[in-house]
Amino acid sequence: MSSTRRELANAIRALSMDAVQQANSGHPGAPMGMADIAQVLWADHMQHNPGNPDWANRDRFVLSNGHGSMLIYSLLHLTGYALPIEELRNFRQLHSKTPGHPEYGYAPGVETTTGPLGQGVSNAVGMAIAEKTLAAQFNQPNFDVVDHFTYCFLGDGCLMEGISHEVCSLAGTLGLGKLVAFWDDNGISIDGHVEGWFTDNTPARFEAYGWQVIANVDGHDPQAIADAIAAAKAETSKPTLICCKTIIGFGSPNKSGSHDCHGAPLGLEEIKAAREFLNWPYAPFDIPADIYAGWDAKASGAVKEQAWNEKFVAYQQTHPELAAELTRRLAGDLPANFAEKADAFIQESQDKSENVASRKASQNSIETFATLMPEVLGGSADLAGSNLTIWSGTKGISAEDPSGNYIYYGVREFGMCGIMNGIGLHGGFRPFGATFLMFMEYARNAVRMASLMGIPNIFVYTHDSIGQGEDGPTHQPIEQIANLRLTPNLATWRPCDGAETAVAWKSALERKDGPSALIFSRQGLPAQPRNAQQLSHVAKGGYVLKDCVGSPDVILIATGSEVGITVEAAEQLSDTGMAVRVVSMPSTSVFDKQDAEYRESVLPRSVTKRVAVEAAHVDFWHKYVGLGGTVVGMSTFGESAPGAVLLKYFDITAEAVVKAAKGLN
Ligand SMILES: Cc1ncc(C[n+]2csc(CCOP(=O)(O)OP(=O)(O)O)c2C)c(N)n1
């Protein structure tokens, strides 16, 4: 006899309460509450193949309420992904594939890391944008080779987070008809019943965004859920929010409906009671064969993928160039001759020797690279004219025409970066998104998530210091660059002129295993002369830009807009007979990865007289200048005045560098 839907859902409930109990930590409430919804969605709608979690046209599933991780682990295990029961037994243990929150790259089938509430839904919006835009660029009559849904589970917590407003608002504007979100409306968050802190009219809120809202769905009634999903899929011009009334911890007779089961093990007594209540007589982690059979999606998934593969072969025959390009883009490979063309552009930038703001140099790089790479999907959080992110081939995407290569994100920095992460995870694009460096803080955690997940997105930051001037201290970064540099797996670049900027862009686009932050000035900067070897060493993150004869008396280390004044200072110091070396250090993290011999050749240990120069927080630089060195930089907030006045006022000048160097003993 085949299992009932409730029995199948109860397998999720049992696995969740048992795994949390075994780990003695975790969140049983959400998985037990959403199990019936998950059963209907995964059994009847999800287009996926457990045998190949990377199938390009799979539906994407995002558990934005990532604390309910046992829900997704149960689903992946039960449907047949390579996630054996031992992994569920090892929930939350070191080196298991089942960490406390779903981590991208651990269990097969986890599409994104979730846990920081609100960001999962931003990733889901990004995935839905990627699907829609990729489809518009590649599908042909009779060949819908890009054609999948993005499903997202979210709780009250995600809806309370501001980022959900940013991204759901944009999702409505962009008419993401294949995005379906399920709100776990259980009235509970950690502190208890949400009436005291969350009383929004959520359906009205989402209607105002332009979503289709299906309200008052009983999240424990499979037919109501099935009807809602059918209606969601039928609406192709708007995203859909299905508001599911659920009981947190459904099945736990004494703890369901209360925050007691949100984030703590139910306890052995209560688990026993829940087993009786659910009529689930099996031992922990023991799933009967007929329940496994009811969930198993391996055969049906293989058939679905096979049908798509056949369609793709026919597409390849009819549209060979498009098929080859789509294959390349989905693999994340650079176009043929990329390195050669990029190097020619770098040389050209060097030869031009233009004195421009590095944000302008960045725009020149974007022009070149976005023209070479149609997968570049640019954008800015309403600062295109300041960030200089528009190139001659820019085409904005809209609900009506999603085929473009640029997203007008509006004033939504955090949303932008979360969406970029979803786009990057989906595949087919190389997103970049821009804002003022100061506002990286609004988006900080999404940049961290890109770094944690290893998504090679590019975060573009302009107006990088007090040199930006009149906007004043609210807009003048001080500690932000250090913050970016301290983020593991983020490559941070602060180039000093056109050639360094071109190298930074090339390096960011060549990365496959993590994001890059590219930091640019508002003000004009002098181009630096370099010989061929120096030019090739820019990619090493730090190199000798100007040298003396013999061993240096002092080494000056600078980045970005301070390289120019540091070279000036070096000239003045040389005139007084000092042997001075200038090191340009556009990327400290890239420099740190070079071998010891190279690093020693740039910063010989024997030279302890060192000055670092950067119009940003001084503290970061002590690891390069040591206790014997000093730093010309900032340790207070800025002021409002023209940039040149401020640089003088705060002593970020060639004279200050000379004085600092002379003061070393
Ligand atoms: C950004 C962020 N802030 C706080 C938390 C801690 N946290 C985890 S779950 C939760 C409450 C979530 O409530 P809800 O979405 O209703 O989940 P449920 O109680 O229904 O499981 C909080 C505050 C978090 N994970 N992320």
**For residue 1, is pLDDT > 70?**
no
How would you classify the pairing of strands 240-245 and 543-546?
Answer: unpaired
Place of tokens 């990532």: 66
For the full predicted model, state whether its pTM sits above 0.75.
Answer: yes
How would you classify the pairing of strands 376-380 and 430-436?
Answer: parallel
- Taking the CA of residue 184 as reference, the ligand 1 atom at the shortest distance is 20
Residue 189 CA to ligand 1 centre (angstroms): 6
pLDDT for res 2: 87
pLDDT tens digits for range 151-195: 999 999 999 999 999 999 999 999 999 999 999 999 999 999 999
pLDDT tens digits for range 353-374: 999 999 999 999 999 999 999 9
pLDDT tens digits for range 415-427: 999 999 999 999 9
Confidence tier at 345 by pLDDT (50, 70, 90): very high
Residue 193 CA to ligand 1 centre (angstroms): 13
Which residues have C-beta atoms less than 6 Å from ligand 1? Answer: 27, 29-30, 65, 67, 115-117, 155-157, 161, 184, 186, 188-190, 248, 262
What's the whole-number mean pLDDT along residues 41-64? 98
Q: Is residue 416 a contact partner of residue 381, using CB atoms and an 8 Å limit?
A: yes
What's the whole-number mean pLDDT along residues 608-637? 97
Residue 21 CA to ligand 1 centre (angstroms): 19
The yes-or-no answer on residue 413 being catalytic is yes
Which residues are CB-contacts of 596 (< 8 A; sequence separation ≥ 6)? Answer: none
If you take atom 23 of ligand 1, which residue's CA is the nearest one? 190
With the C-alpha atoms ordered 599, 605, 607, 613, is the resulting torsion angle positive or negative? Answer: positive
**Ligand 1, from 166, 190, 259: best to mutate by most atoms within 8 Å of Cβ?**
190
**For residue 30, is pLDDT > 70?**
yes
**Which residue among 413, 500, 562, 614 is the active-site one?**
413
If you take atom 12 of ligand 1, which residue's CA is the nearest one? 157
pLDDT over 70 for what percent of the chain? 100
pLDDT tens digits for range 518-541: 999 999 999 999 999 999 999 999
C-alpha dihedral, 582 to 586 to 589 to 591, nearest 10°? -40
If you take atom 9 of ligand 1, which residue's CA is the nearest one? 67
Q: Is residue 104 a contact partner of residue 110, using CB atoms and an 8 Å limit?
A: yes
Long-range pairs for 312-318: beta carbons < 8 A, 24 or more residues apart: 312/145, 314/143, 315/140, 315/143, 315/145, 318/140, 318/143
pLDDT tens digits for range 192-220: 999 999 999 999 999 999 999 999 999 99
**For residue 441, is pLDDT > 70?**
yes
Average pLDDT score over the chain: 98
Q: Which two tokens stand for residue 468?
A: 């930006």
pLDDT for res 255: 97
Residue 157 CA to ligand 1 centre (angstroms): 5
**Ligand 1, from 25, 113, 117, 184: best to mutate by most atoms within 8 Å of Cβ?**
117
